[in-house]
Structure 1
Amino acid sequence: MAYKLPVLPYDYTALEPYISKSTLEFHHDKHHAAYVSKFNAAVQGTDLDNKPIEDVIKAIAGDAEKTGVFNNAAQAWNHTFYWNSMKPNGGGKPTGDLAKKIETDFGSLEKFAEAFKTAGASQFGSGWAWLVLDNGTLKVTKTLNADTPLTHGQVPLLTMDVWEHAYYLDYQNKRPDYIGAFLDNLVSWDFAAQNLAVA
């Protein structure tokens, strides 16, 4: 039961001018596809083959002998989550329960945005910035390489990829510009709200 590479939830040009067609083609069709392919090859014929990818990630996290499997599984999952964390004509402000929760737990949307931008900009090397629910409280966190909040008892609501391949064709070394564009023009508050509702 191979894990399938999901199709993008929007057209390759739908996030322009903030993320180009070229970036999405390389990022989804090459990088994401490679993680999926390597994960499937690694678990084929093992006891992990029939398990949902989230269960595999949690089961093998921290197992030094399965680091390669974990990296590809977590990256496959993280990328799928990332595509859904964005939408055409995104950005703006959250509404409803999510807006209230951000106000309560961060003090304001602006304070959340500041924390999220800092997490993304200060992640040394490759990784991810996240909005998570941690024991009932919203928090901003960051993870290195393939690591994911799934292995830390947290519920991911939203993520931003800060690996260079996510933004380098469009922003070169200006990661803060990409982060600003993500929050102002791309973020899908609807996706985060759905994740909060089912948490």
Structure 2
Amino acid sequence: MANMSLEEIIKATYNDPSKSGIFNNAAQVWNHSFFWKCLKPNGGGQPTGALADKIQADFGSFDAFIQEFKNAAATQFGSGWAWLVLDNGTLKVTKTANAVNPMVEGKTPLLTLDVWEDAYYIE
């Protein structure tokens, strides 16, 4: 595995119980690194251009997307992640438990929200 990318390690170890420790650590490194890239000082607001058009086409409106994304995050039981993914050309909202990443199902992560309790339980 020394010459594999993090994504390759995640995909190669996902369904191998003997490598669950490797999977969990590799996936959490990827998930957290991606999460931090999704944040931007003074960011926020509605997207423009092709992404805005795709959200409109696949969710009906930006507000509908936001509601679905919030619902995925709020209803994730236990630790996990809420995701905006590209799945066979369609934008979808999904959620995963623990370290699981949508890439193991062939989906492309575009946005994530950390819903592990350490992300929000202490103010």
Whether these two folds match at TM > 0.5 is yes
Please give the residue correspondences for 1:49-198 in structure 2 after superposition, counting only pairs within 5 Å.
49-170=2-123
> Considering only aligned residues, what root-mean-square deviation do their CA atoms show, in Å?
0.7
TM superposition outliers: structure 1 runs of 4+ over 3 Å = none
Q: C-alpha distance in 1, partners of 2:14/2:98?
A: 13
Q: C-alpha distance in 1, partners of 2:47/2:37?
A: 15
Unaligned 5+ segments in structure 1 are: 1-47, 171-199
Structure with more strand by fraction: 2
Q: C-alpha distance in 1, partners of 2:77/2:120?
A: 15
Q: Which amino acid aligns with 1:77?
A: W
- Aligned-pair distance for 1:169? 2.3
Q: C-alpha distance in 1, partners of 2:18/2:119?
A: 28
- Aligned-pair distance for 1:168? 1.9
**Matched-pair identity in %:** 63
Aligned residues: 123
- Structure with bigger gyration radius: 1
TM normalised by structure 2 equals 0.98
Secondary structure (helix, strand or coil) at the match of 2:35 reads: helix
Structure with more helix by fraction: 1
Q: Which amino acid aligns with 1:70?
A: F
